[in-house]
Structure 1
Amino acid sequence: MPADASATARAEPPAPLPNRVARLLGVRIPIVQAPMTFIAGATLAAAVSNAGALGIIETTSPQGRADLKRVRDLTDRPVGANVALAMRKDPSVIDLLVEAGVSTVLTSAGDPTVLTGRLHDAGLTVFHVVGSLRNALKAADAGVDGLVVEGVEGGGFKSARAASTLVLLPLVASRVSLPIISAGGICDGPSMAAAIVLGAEGVQMGTRMLASRESPLHDNVKNAVVGADETGTVMISVPGLPTMRVLRTPAAERVLATGRPEVGLDGIPALYFDGDLTASLANTGQVAGRIERVEPVADIVHETWTGCRQILAAAGARANGW
C-alpha cells in the first residue's frame, strides 16, 4: 500500500455498508479502534476514521475530552467516543459528545442502564463493552444497540474470572441477537475472520493500534510490544491495583514476585510518553506476540479487512468442496 494510503482511503467513493455493525457505526469497514486512556486521542482516531473504520476518543482524561473537538480538524468521517461509566456517570458528558459531533458511544466499566436511555434521547448509538454472558444479557435488557464482547486475552482492565474470546464470543452470540463487535486477540485478517465465523459482525483492535505509526506512544513502548512473544503479557491481580493484562516488563515481574503494587498507575504518562518502562505497567493484549512491526493505521485497517474477506472466501470455497 502506498505511503499516502490515508489520503487514498479518504478519496475512495462510498461503498455499500456490509453488515449491521458497519451500518450502525456509519463506516465502510467494521473495524473499531479501542478506547485506550491517554492513547485514543485525536491523531490516532482520525487516522482510523480516515481509513474507513471508526476511530474512538477516550473521555477519561482531560486531554481525551479536549481531543473530541480537535479531531474535527483532522477528519470529517464518523468518530466515536468512550464513556467509562465507573468514572463518568454525570449526564453532562452527553452534551460534550453531542457538541463534538460524536454519533457512536462505547460505554464500559459500569451499569449500562445509567446512561443508555439518555444517550439514545440525544440521538447517539450505544455499544456496551462486556466480558461475560451475564453482563451481555444485562446490557441487552438495558436497550443498547450492540455489544463489544471482550475476551480475557485483551489488554487493560479485566476480570480475573473472564473467558477467552474463543469461548465467550460464540456463547454470547448464541444468546443475544444484538450486533457484536469482537475484542481481544484481534490484529489482522485471520483473527478478524475467526471472529466473524464465531458470531461477530465487526472487531475492535487495541494493541495493534497502539503499535501503529500514528499512536502517540514512545518508541520504547511500541518496540517492546513488537518484541514480545506469545507469552509476553501477564495478568496482574494484587491488592491496590485493578486486575489487568500488561506487558511482561521487569516492573510487572516485580509486582508478580512480591504480590504488592511495586509501581502505580500514576507513572503511566512517564511510561507512555517518556518511554520509561520502569515507571508503570503497560496495558497490552496477548496479541502482541503476533505483531511484527509498527505500521501506518491505514495499512493496518486495509490489510485486516482485505485479508479477512479473502480468508472467508477461501474457507467457503473449501467447505463447498467437502
Structure 2
Amino acid sequence: MYFENRVTSALGISIPILSAPMGWVARAELVAAVSEAGGMGLVPGSLSLEEVRSDIRGVRERTDKPFGINVPLLFAKDPRVIDMVIDEGVRFITTSAGSPATYTPMLKAAGLTVYHVVPSLVAALKAVAAGVDGLIVEGNEGAGFKSPREVSTTVLVPLVASRVNVPVIAAGGIVDGRSLASVLALGAEGVQMGTRMLASRESAVHQNIKAAVVAAAETDTVLINRAVGRPMRVLRTELSNRLENMEDPDVISVLAQVTTLYYGGDLESSLAQLGQVAGRIDEVLSVAEIFERTLTEFRDVVRELAQSARD
C-alpha cells in the first residue's frame, strides 16, 4: 500500500507515518527501520552535537531512504545543531518548543522542508505566518511536555486543518490503522507515532520500559509539573506520583537521570515519557510489523466504512 498526498509527495515517502523524535529512544536503528518501512524516521536533535551527528550518520549507514530530524528550539543542547543539520545534508526538519520564525527562513533558504509542532490553533497560525511547509498538530494525550491549555487530538486536528492551507500531521493517541483512519478523516495527511515506536523491538530503551508500556492501562500516565505551567505526560510510578503533588517539582534534575531509566531499566530513577495510548499497546513488535498491521487494519476499516455508507 502507498499513499498519495502532500505529505508523501513533499517528503518522498510512501506511507505518511513519522516516528516521534524521542530523545535517547529514537536512535539510528529505530529511525532507519521506520524509513525502511516506507515512513519517515526522525532523529532527535535534543542530544549533544556529537551524538546527533553520530545518529544521522548511523541512519545513513542503515538505509538510503529519506529521514529527518527534530530540533526542540528551547531544549537543544547546542544551537550549532541547525548548522550541522544543513551541513549533513538532511532534507527534512521538524522544529518544536520555540518560535518557528527563528530558523525557518534560514532552513528554507538551505532547501529544507520545515514542519513545526503546534499544540493550538494560535500556534499553528503563527507557524504558517513564519513560512513553515507543514504542521505537526499534537494533542494533549501525547507523551512529554504539553501545552498548559489542554486540547485533545480529535478536537485540535480538524480545527487546525480547517484554518490552514499547509499539510497537517496528527500526533498524540496514534497507534494503529483505526487511529490512522480516524485522523485522516479529520483532515490530517499523516501521523506521528511515539509510544507505539518506543515499544518496538528496534527502540533503544530497556526491556523494562517496553514491558511497562505493554502492562499499562489507559489511565497509567499522569501530567506532572502543572503548577509551573510546563506539564509533562509521563508513566505513573511512585516517583511521578510524588512529583504530581509538589507545587514546584524539580523535573529537570529528575530528567537528568533519564539514561538510567531508559538504558538501565530502573523505572523509579527518572520519568518515562509515555502517551495515554500506552493503554492500547499489548505487545512489543518490530517496526515492520507495526507498519504491516497498521496498514492492514487501515485498509479494512476504510473498506468497512465505505460498505456501511452505501446508498
Question: Which TM-score tier does this pair reach, normalised by the shorter chain?
Answer: over 0.9
Structure-2 separation of matches of 1:117 and 1:90? 19
> Is residue 261–residue 270 contact of structure 2 (8 Å, CA) maintained in 1?
yes
Work out whether 1:248 is the aligned partner of 2:273: no
For the 8 Å contact 2:225–2:249, the answer to whether it is kept is no
* Mean CA deviation greater in 112-121 or 96-105: 96-105
- The corresponding residue for 1:237 is 225
Partner residue, 1:288 = 278
2: CA distance, partners of 1:91 / 1:278: 31
- Of stretches 98-107 and 128-137 in structure 1, the one that deviates more from structure 2 is 98-107
Equivalent residue number for residue 190 of structure 2: 202
Are 1:312 and 2:302 an aligned pair? yes
CA contact 2:220–2:236 (8 Å) conserved in 1:
yes
CA distance in 1, matches of 2:87, 2:296: 34
Q: Within 5 A, what are the aligned runs for 1:73-112?
A: 73-88=61-76, 92-112=80-100
TM-superposed deviation, 1:306: 2.8
Retained in 2: the 8 A contact 1:91–1:115? no
Whole-angstrom distance in 2 between the partners of 1:259 and 1:20: 44
* Deviation, structure 1 residue 125: 0.4
The 3-state SS of whatever aligns with 1:320 is coil
For 2:30, the aligned partner's letter is L
- Counterpart for residue 22 of structure 1: 8
2-side partners of 1:105 and 1:304: how far apart? 25
Q: Taking every aligned residue pair, what percent have the same amino acid on both sides?
A: 52
Q: Secondary structure at the match of 2:245?
A: helix
Using the TM superposition, give the Cα deviation of residue 269 of structure 1 relative to its aligned residue in structure 2, in angstroms.
Answer: 0.6
Structure 2: tracts of 5 or more residues without a match = none
Cα distance in 2, alignment partners of residues 107 and 309 from structure 1: 31
CA shift, 1:259, in A, is: 4.0
For the residue of structure 2 that corresponds to 1:212, the secondary structure is coil
Return the offset for 1:238: 5.0
For structure 1, the 5+ residue unaligned runs are 1-14
Q: Find the counterpart in structure 2 of residue 298 from structure 1.
A: 288
Does 2:262 correspond to 1:272?
A: yes
Taking structure 2 as the reference length, the TM-score comes to 0.94
Partners of 1:244 and 1:141 in 2: how far apart? Answer: 27
- Structure 1-normalised TM-score? 0.91
Which residue does 2:132 correspond to in 1? Answer: 144
Instruction: Find the partner of 1:56 among 42, 56, 71.
Output: 42
Worse-matched range after superposition: 60-69 or 72-81:
60-69
Distance 1:130 1:312, change over 3 A: same
In the TM superposition, what whole-angstrom CA distance separates every residue of 1:261-289 from its partner, at most 9, and x where no partner exists? 37611111101100011111111000000
Residues 148 and 229, structure 2, Cα contact 8 Å, conserved in 1: no
